[in-house]
Amino acid sequence: VKITSYGVRPIEEPYFDRLNQFGFDMTYVPEMLTHDNVDASKGADGVLVRGNCVVDRQNLQKFADWGIKMVFTRTVGYNHMDLQAASDLGIAMARVPAYSPFAVAELALTMGMNLFRHVNLAVDRTHQANFTVGTDLFSKEIHTATVGIMGVGRIGLTEAKLYQGLGANVVAYDPYPSPAAKETVTLCDLPTMLAQSDIVSVHVPYFPGKNENLIDAKFIEQMKPGAVLVNTARGELADIPAILQGLDTGKLTGYGADVILNEGEILGKKFAQISDVPNDQVQQLLARYPQVLITPHMGSYTEPALQDMISVSYQNFHDHLTTGKTSNAISI
Ligand code: COI
């Protein structure tokens, strides 16, 4: 059984080989799936993608023409997959609903703590030979602070527990909390969570056409003055002009993001200078360094997460091939 896998960085290949317990015949493409490299899937039985791969109707039509019946993603999020087109074309889709939740949770925590203790601001100054301790470096301690988690699924709940381990009071907003979430954190409505929290961390799926710009001016207005905002979920959730304004007025002390809008045009590329980055909003955010931390969607780039992404994906293909379905299927 042949599988073409896109977005396989060289460091990942040995893991794909070692975890290949079902003996799939793998083709690795280092780049993300685009309209230009879709031909690498010709002759395959299945296609494996990750976030920012272009799984639109045009590519799905080609897969269908070539007899490919399975297009799976090894990510949690599946906003890059056109579920309607897949359903119309009789192509099955599946995802990896959970890989090590510590991968993203730890990064979100690290960004939150960095901005909360003004580390980046201070480091930026010492790099300029400025060793003064301005009032803008004054801080609370995390065990005296409140952290608000929006979305206490596996990742959000993991981050909540990490912060609880540091002694923080953790409150959370989630319209559909799991029993584990109910046992672990204090749930409240969104305005209450925003008003109380010194750090707000967002772990919400992005549903195209439904929750764009969820983090908007109204959201920020409801936050505690001087709070830190962290988004390791999806760039589309954040209304960047509103965030920039929050930083300008001091309402926000910092913004940490592992995700940006239109990542497909930016991630994996090295530009000569910031003005070459083809995204005005990203340019403006980067100009706000050191109050803004932007990382290149690397939250899931850890060894445990990678192993889970690969082994669950192989299992998805195996289950679908042997039983005609997988428990990780996604559909409209
Ligand atoms: C996800 O699993 O949803 C991610 O954000 C990972 C990324 C490589 C797209």
Tens of pLDDT, residue by residue over 107-136, are 999 999 999 999 999 999 999 999 999 999
Catalytic residue list: 234, 263, 297
**pTM for this predicted structure:** 0.93
Give percent helix, percent strand, percent coil of the chain, each to the nearest 5.
Answer: 40, 15, 40
The per-residue pLDDT for 71 is 98
Measured in Å, residue 140 CA sits from the centre of ligand 1 at 32
Q: Could you tell me the end-to-end alpha-carbon distance of the chain, in angstroms, rounded to an integer?
A: 27
Quick check: CB of 73 below 6 Å from ligand 1? no
Residue 5: pLDDT band with limits 50, 70, 90: very high
In CATH, what number does 2-99+302-323 get?
3.40.50.720
The SS3 assignment for 94 reads: strand
**Quick one: average pLDDT of 21-41?**
97
Crossing angle, helix 119-126 and helix 102-116, to 10 degrees? 60
Tens of pLDDT, residue by residue over 152-163, are 999 999 999 999
What's the one-letter identity of residue 70? M
Angle, CA of 62, 65 and 67, to the nearest 5°: 110
Sheet architecture: strand order including 92-94: 25-29, 2-6, 46-49, 70-73, 92-94
Measured in Å, residue 73 CA sits from the centre of ligand 1 at 9
* CATH 3.40.50.720 describes domain 102-294: yes
- Going along 68-214, which residue ranges are E strands? 70-73, 92-94, 146-150, 169-173, 186-187, 199-202
Residue 96: pLDDT band with limits 50, 70, 90: very high
Ligand 1 atom with least separation from CA of 74: 2
Residue whose CA is at the smallest distance from ligand 1 atom 8 = 51
The per-residue pLDDT for 116 is 98
Tens of pLDDT, residue by residue over 49-94, are 999 999 999 999 999 999 999 999 999 999 999 999 999 999 999 9
Are the C-beta atoms of 277 and 271 separated by less than 8 Å? Answer: yes
Residue 189: pLDDT band with limits 50, 70, 90: very high
Residue whose CA is at the smallest distance from ligand 1 atom 4 = 75
Measured in Å, residue 226 CA sits from the centre of ligand 1 at 29
The per-residue pLDDT for 92 is 98
Tens of pLDDT, residue by residue over 235-274, are 999 999 999 999 999 999 999 999 999 998 999 899 999 9
Residue environment code for 295-331, b if the CB has 16+ CB neighbours within 10 A, otherwise e? bebebbbbeebbebbbbbbbbbbebbbeeeebebebe
Residue 36: pLDDT band with limits 50, 70, 90: very high
Ligand 1 atom with least separation from CA of 301: 8
Nearest CA to 306 out of 106, 50, 93 is that of 50
The SS3 assignment for 150 reads: strand
**Quick one: average pLDDT of 143-157?**
98
Exposed / middle / buried, residue 190 (Cβ in 10 Å: 0-12, 13-18, 19+)? middle
The residues of the chain that CATH labels 3.40.50.720 are 2-99+302-323, 102-294
Quick check: CB of 97 below 6 Å from ligand 1? no
Measured in Å, residue 228 CA sits from the centre of ligand 1 at 23
Quick check: CB of 75 below 6 Å from ligand 1? yes
Quick check: CB of 101 below 6 Å from ligand 1? no
HSE at residue 233, side-chain half, CA atoms within 13 A, is 29
The SS3 assignment for 298 reads: coil
The per-residue pLDDT for 138 is 97
Q: What single DSSP character describes residue 143?
A: G
